[in-house]
Amino acid sequence: MRPFRIRLTLILMVMIGISMAGAGLTMARVFEKSHISALEENMIREIQLLSRTFDFRPTQGGDAMAYYTREARELAALTDSRVTFISKNGTVIGDSESDPRQMDNHGGREEIVDAARKGSGYAIRHSSTLKEDMLYVAVPVVAGDYDGFIRLSVSLAFVDQGVRKGWTLMAGGLAILFVVAAVVSYRVAAGLTSPLEKITRVAGRISKLDYDARVSITRKDEIGELAKAINGMADSLQNQLQTIRDNENLLQSVLDNMTTGILLVNPEGTVALINPAAERMLHLKGGQLTGRSVTEMKQYYELTRLIQDGIGQRDFIHEERIVYQPEETILQLDGVPMFGEDDRFKGMLFLLQNITAIRRLENMRSEFVANVSHELKTPVAAVKGFAETLLGGGVKDEETARSFLQIIYDESERLNRLISDILDLSKIESRRSPMDYAPVHLASFCGSIIDTMATVAEKKRIALHADIPEELFIEADEDKLRQILLNLLSNAVSYTQDGGKVELKVRELQDAEGTEKVVIKVTDTGIGIPKKDQPRIFERFYRVDKARSRSSGGTGLGLSIVKHLVELHHGDISVDSELGIGTTFTVELPMLQE
């Protein structure tokens, strides 16, 4: 049988059973009470009869207990009950079952108390002497010298036996009724449950997200209408679910691919939504913060305070905060309060943007403009000053005038180099300088560069050496590689004292990953670079010794250009220097460009 059909049948049977059990219990209780009431009345009449016919004797004599005990036993045999004589003070002076001298004072027993107050009393309790439930009835008696109570008690075992017989008969009738009810209930339930079971199975499949399930019932009654309603509901749910899934997938795709961080916080300060971009900015693992309070981001105290203030004020927020996990990062936080249709506050939506690079570029641009202005001002001021002197006719000596003109020429050349370097650096940084890779024979290529620098080195009596393997080739942009080496060698010659030494060494190297590289080292015996300045020498316009750099004709952009050109070749550059001993610049370039 089907479970639902069984349950319906059992429900009917249980209802009938409860009704029968209730009626039987009520009848049993009525039978029991009426039988006990009849016993009480009979026992009261028997006591009253005894009070008129019994030969009472004084209760204080030495043989009083023996007399009343003997008489109690004789009366018990006649009345088929236990007989007890009790004095006014509750002392037992005679009992048909026990020795009165060993019995407790009965003055506090329920039936004695009621008898003294009402004229008769009764109680039902378990007798510790006879080990069964007993009915006790007591009546006060005053006859001659006797002033006390006579108590009769009978066992209720026969009453219980009658109740059990009644229950047995009722149980038999109930069993027959159950059989009949089961047959009738099953036949009635069968016509109802069969289509309902089909509908239930389909509803169960729908609840398990199987929206293709349908009810195949074509009845014209209410059950048929229910089947149609279930099928219509399944169609509607299927369509709505597909729409929801499409929207969720679209929304999730948007959230996952946004570069802006999204943080949704409910009014209680619990994170309801956080997208991967925000987790990356805050260095959190996937789903680590979802469902938790924003205060758990203890490492971002200022940020969490701002979020909490936004929730408390329920107003728009546009602020920037610096976080230090694991490095200094500038985050821009835009907060938007969200309200429902009933103007109920639903939380805050925060947009996080990492603007560290933007602020760094702004600072770099400001510094670059300031440095360019300063660098341009110096040669322009020199040219203007000497030109004004010459135009004013203040210089009569031809030799002095010629030296002034030479200074003007040198400063204009320096100005020209500075503008040229600025334009080159601008092209390189903006990626507007395309790379033209081609095989370069390093021995002949470096030889031509050494020849170019030889004249400058000879003026300072600097020994210029090159150590390049004859068979070594590299794939590179020849013009940009030439610019790298010329800048490095020019710096080496400029910052090496007269009589010093500059060396260009090239070697082949294979790194741990098996990539073949070319290592270029430019070593000089010059003045060296302090340790504190070495990390910054590749910055634009940074000079260790500004006076020495300007006197050498440098623009302060050479090493910055070299670093960018090396990076365009997918290489690395580093420096190793000691004051008064010399400097070595090391350039590592891949032998083949991918």
Give the domain ranges of the chain: 1-21+160-257, 54-155, 259-352, 359-428, 434-590
CATH number among 3.30.450.20, 3.65.10.10, 3.30.930.10, 3.30.70.141, domain 54-155: 3.30.450.20
Same-fold call for 359-428 versus 434-590: no
135 touches 40 (CB < 8 A)? yes
Does pLDDT of 522 surpass 90?
Answer: yes
Lowest mean pLDDT among 121-135, 328-342, 579-593: 121-135
Instruction: Give a three-class secondary structure readout of 54-112.
Output: CCCCCCCCCCHHHHHHHHHHHHHHHHCCEEEEEECCCCEEEECCCCHHHCCCCCCCHHH
pLDDT for position 506: 92
112 touches 138 (CB < 8 A)? yes
- pLDDT bin (cut points 50, 70, 90) of residue 362 is low
End-to-end CA distance of the chain: 75
Q: Which residue has the tokens 């991967």?
A: 276
- pLDDT bin (cut points 50, 70, 90) of residue 441 is very high
pLDDT for position 446: 92
pTM of the complete model: 0.41
pLDDT tens string 191-244: 666 777 777 777 787 777 777 787 777 777 777 777 788 788 888 887 888 888
The mean pLDDT of 346-372, rounded to a whole number, is 73
Going by the DSSP 8-state scheme, the letter that residue 296 receives in this structure is G
Question: Which CATH topology does 434-590 take?
Answer: Heat Shock Protein 90 (3.30.565)
* CA–CA gap between residue 47 and residue 52 (Å, rounded): 9
Nearest CA to 72 out of 49, 99, 48 is that of: 99
Does pLDDT of 285 surpass 60?
Answer: yes
pLDDT tens string 2-43: 565 566 667 766 776 677 667 667 766 776 677 778 778 888
Cis peptide before 326 (omega within 30 of 0): yes
Does pLDDT of 563 surpass 80?
Answer: yes
pLDDT for position 432: 60
CATH of domain 359-428: 1.10.287.130
pLDDT for position 178: 66
Q: Which residue has the tokens 């074509």?
A: 218
Q: Which amino acid is at 37?
A: S
Q: Which residue has the tokens 């007399």?
A: 67
pLDDT for position 552: 47
Question: Which CATH topology does 259-352 take?
Answer: Beta-Lactamase (3.30.450)
Going by the DSSP 8-state scheme, the letter that residue 101 receives in this structure is G
As given in the structure block, the two tokens for residue 45 are: 């009449």
As given in the structure block, the two tokens for residue 97 are: 């079952």
Could you tell me whether strands 121-127 and 92-95 are parallel, antiparallel, or unpaired per DSSP bridges?
Answer: unpaired
**Whole-number percent of the chain with pLDDT over 90:** 9
- Helix 478-494 and helix 442-459: axis angle, to 10°? 30
As given in the structure block, the two tokens for residue 164 are: 């059990």
pLDDT for position 309: 85
Question: Is the model more confident about 402 or about 507?
Answer: 507
Does pLDDT of 585 surpass 90?
Answer: yes
Does pLDDT of 548 surpass 60?
Answer: no
